[in-house]
Amino acid sequence: MPRQRSCCCLRIVALLASAYSSIGDCAERLPQPLLLVGEAAVTATVEELRTDWGIVASMDGERKELKRSDYVLWGAYSDDGRSSQVLLTDGTVLVGEIVRIEDLSVTIASRLWGELRLDRQIVRAWCLLPQSDPLARDREWQLLQTPEPIDRVLLLNRDALAGKLLPTTERDGGGLFGLVSIGIALSDAAPATSVVIDEVRAITFRASPTQESHSECLLGFRDGSLVPASMLTVTNSEVTQITTAAGASLQLRTDELLKNLTFIQPQNETVTYLSDLPAVGYKFLPFLELDWSLGIATNTLGGRLRAAGDVTFQGLGMHSVSRVAYTLDRQYRRFEAELALDDHAKRQGSVIYRVLVERDNESGQSAWSLAFTSPIIRGGDPPLSMSLDVNGATRLALVVEMADRVDTRDYANWLNARLLR
Neighbouring CB atoms inside 10 A of 31's CB total 15
Beta bridge pairs of residue 366? 360
| Residue 192: per-residue pLDDT | 83
Separation between Cα atoms, residue 368 and residue 173, nearest integer Å: 66
Separation between Cα atoms, residue 397 and residue 335, nearest integer Å: 11
User: What ranges do the domains of the chain cover?
Assistant: 79-204, 271-420
| Residue 176: per-residue pLDDT | 64
**Radius of gyration (Cα) for the chain, nearest Å?**
23
| Residue 324: per-residue pLDDT | 97
Quickly list DSSP for 37-97. Answer: TTS--EEEEEEEE-TTS-EEEEETTEEEEE-GGGEEEEE-B---SSS-EEEETTS-EEESE
Give me the torsion for CA of 247, 249, 255, 261, rounded to 10°: -40
| Residue 212: per-residue pLDDT | 73
Separation between Cα atoms, residue 326 and residue 248, nearest integer Å: 37
CATH of domain 271-420: 2.60.120.1060
Separation between Cα atoms, residue 364 and residue 408, nearest integer Å: 42
| Residue 169: per-residue pLDDT | 85
| Residue 60: per-residue pLDDT | 83
Separation between Cα atoms, residue 25 and residue 393, nearest integer Å: 46
pTM: 0.88
Is 25 in a helix, a strand, or coil? Answer: helix
Give the residue among 386, 390, 274, 388 at the shortest CA–CA distance from 331.
390
The DSSP H or E segment spanning 317 is strand 315-319
ω into 180 cis (within 30 of 0):
no
Distance of CA 362 to the CA centre of its chain: 45
Residue type for 205, please? Answer: F
Please report, in tens digits, the pLDDT of each residue of the chain (421 residues total): 344 434 444 444 344 444 434 444 444 777 899 999 988 889 999 999 999 999 999 988 899 999 999 999 999 999 988 899 999 999 999 999 999 999 999 999 999 999 999 999 999 999 999 999 999 999 999 999 999 899 999 999 999 999 999 998 888 777 667 889 999 998 766 678 889 999 999 999 998 877 777 899 999 999 999 999 999 998 777 899 999 999 999 999 999 999 999 999 999 999 999 999 999 999 998 776 678 999 999 999 999 999 999 999 999 999 999 999 999 999 999 999 999 999 999 989 999 999 999 998 878 788 899 999 999 999 999 999 999 999 999 999 999 999 987 888 999 999 999 999 8
Neighbouring CB atoms inside 10 A of 293's CB total 15
